[in-house]
Chains A and B, each alone.
Chain A
Amino acid sequence: MALGPYASFILTSYLLAALVVALLIGWIGLDYRSQTRRLRELEQRGVVRRSARSATEIR
């Protein structure tokens, strides 16, 4: 696949899109881990919602 004289523009576009999508996925994944960890810590301290479901149940 020859990309011609503007190969750097084409490759930069695709790599940048891959990077931004990877950052989005990473950020959302890390946020999920952070929120479930905080919920678990609160439950371990005895702070539970009225319905008293555990953090593992809502995964």
Chain B
Amino acid sequence: MTLTDRLTDLANPTRFLALTARVLPWLMAITAILLAIGLFLSAQAPDDYQQGATVKIMFIHVPNAWLSMLVWGVMSIASLGTLVWRHPLADVAAKAAAPIGAAFTFLALVTGSLWGRPMWGTYWEWDARLTSVLILFLMYLGLIALWRAVEDPSRAARAAAVLTLVGALNLPIIKFSVDWWNTLHQPASVMRMGGPALDRAFLIPLLVMAIAFSFLFLTLHLAAMRNEILRRRVRSLQMMQASQTGGASQAGAVASDASTASRGDGTLKPTIGTA
């Protein structure tokens, strides 16, 4: 089976739900194990010669900062899926990812702030990196608000997809802000030309935590997608119920009018509806 066939197969929400039911327990277990190892390695990491023990904030701040951008990247691909390929699960994926991405971005901002106070002497500075990440956080909140404001999921999906793709322009700005402008924030020290500048004693716990948080995102995202599919089922069943009820009462009213008219006496007697 080719990748295209597999993706087409997963376009069926029922098959997707069956897949998540099988995969989620494994993902939860892998995430918990990786987080435990990552936290253990972070606790064992030595103090930095300049930053002392505050370097431990890096193990929680950097994975959240990476994921804040990665989640928007995932949402951008999903938005292409909505606008170009009209994949049935694309907007489900984008909508489910937004609150998780917002949470990671919030953590990146707050842990960065808590790291900045002892290192820079300030919690916040309106420089390019911090401001562009704050804008990313506000964009997440804007998308969540948009999805909540528009009741019809398909209409909301198209508007949100356009907004997400426009917002993706912020990702290279965040990534290269430390190179393009003067900033308090340090330049890239892991994903850079010439390899990581970090010592292995810090790099290994950082990478394990980054992988653990990536698995956490994957697990939460699949679970949130499953919830969104169920929410849409509930909505469609409620609409079906409302149309049946509406149809029944209309049919009842028509039958009532007909029986009243045929009797010609103008009295209103209850009539059994046809629905």
Task: State the A residues within 8 Å of B (CB).
Answer: 1-7, 9-10, 12-14, 16-17, 20-21, 23-25, 27-29, 31-32, 35-36, 38-39, 42, 45, 47-49, 51, 53, 58-59
Contact = CB atoms under 8 A, between A and B. Distances in A.
29 contacts: A2-B53, A3-B53, A3-B56, A4-B47, A4-B52, A6-B118, A9-B118, A13-B57, A16-B107, A16-B110, A16-B114, A17-B60, A20-B106, A29-B223, A31-B231, A32-B227, A35-B230, A35-B231, A39-B234, A42-B234, A42-B237, A42-B238, A47-B240, A47-B241, A47-B244, A48-B237, A49-B236, A58-B18, A59-B21
User: Which one of A23, A25, A28 has the highest number of Cβ atoms from chain B below 10 Å of its Cβ?
Assistant: A28
The number of chain B residues touching the other chain, given as a range, is 35 or more
B216 A35 contact: no
Contacts of B236: 49
B61 interface: yes
Contact of A17 (B64, B230, B241): B64
Contacts of A1: 43
B226 interface: yes
A10 to B, nearest CB: 5
A38 B21 CA distance: 19
Contacts of B56: 3, 10, 14
A10 B14 contact: no
B148 interface: no
A9 B238 contact: no
Contacts of B100: 24
B62 to A, nearest CB: 12
A28 B53 contact: no
B60 A13 contact: yes
B233 interface: yes
A5 B119 CA distance: 12
Given A13-B111, A59-B21, A28 B227 contact: yes
Contacts of A16: 107, 110-111, 114
B224 interface: yes
Nearest to B242: A47
B171 interface: no
B206 to A, nearest CB: 14
A3 B114 CA distance: 14
B189 interface: no
Contact of A10 (B54, B230, B241): B54
A36 B233 contact: no
Contacts of B244: 47
